[in-house]
Every structure is written in C-alpha cells, then in structure tokens.
Amino acid sequence: MAKIKVYGTPTCPWCHRVKEYLESKKIEFEDVDVSTNQEATQEMVKKSGQMGVPQIEINGKMIVGFDQEALDKEIAELKK
C-alpha cells in the first residue's frame, strides 16, 4: 500500500479524528506534526497551497480537512 501522511497539530480535534478513523480501518500512516516541524509545514503548503490542518496526502493527492468520503475514495484506490 502507498504511503499516507497526515499533517496536523496536537491541539487540532479534526486531526485526531482523521488519525482515529485511519486507525479504525487498520491503515498505516505517517503522523507529521507541523506545529514543531517548519520544514514539514513548508512541504505541506507547497503541495496544497493551504495552511489549514488536517491535511492528508495519499498517493500524491492532498485532502484538506476530515473529508471521510474523499478519504474512503482514495483508500479504495490504494487497495486496487
């Protein structure tokens, strides 16, 4: 399965929901804390053009916010 990155902060409730959702589906992901990692913040903004979190990168596609429908669609594509 392709690598999934979740860009977020420890104080963001939607970031926690995204991670809990992925964990409930037993999907591995890399947790990237953009509150302490300036390089990761710049990487995230460069990829999406946005500062808001959470942002989820799946197969090079950026999903901004906890969009369960978009997550499910991209996860289904990974499993093909």
What domains does the chain contain, in order, with CATH numbers? 4-78 (3.40.30.10)
pLDDT greater than 70 at residue 11? yes
- Beta strands, E only, the chain: 4-8, 30-33, 55-58, 61-64
Angle at 8 between CA 79 and CA 32, to 5 degrees: 70
Two tokens, residue 3: 């690598």
Angle at 73 between CA 60 and CA 31, to 5 degrees: 50
> Residues 10-39: what's their mean pLDDT?
96
What confidence score (pLDDT) does residue 2 get?
53
Two tokens, residue 46: 């460069």
Which position has the higher pLDDT, 2 or 59? 59
For 31-74, write each residue's pLDDT tens digit.
999 999 999 999 999 999 999 999 999 988 999 999 999 999 99
- Is residue 74 within 8 A of residue 61, CB to CB? The reply is yes
Q: What is the pTM of this model?
A: 0.92
Confidence of residue 6 (pLDDT cuts 50, 70, 90): very high
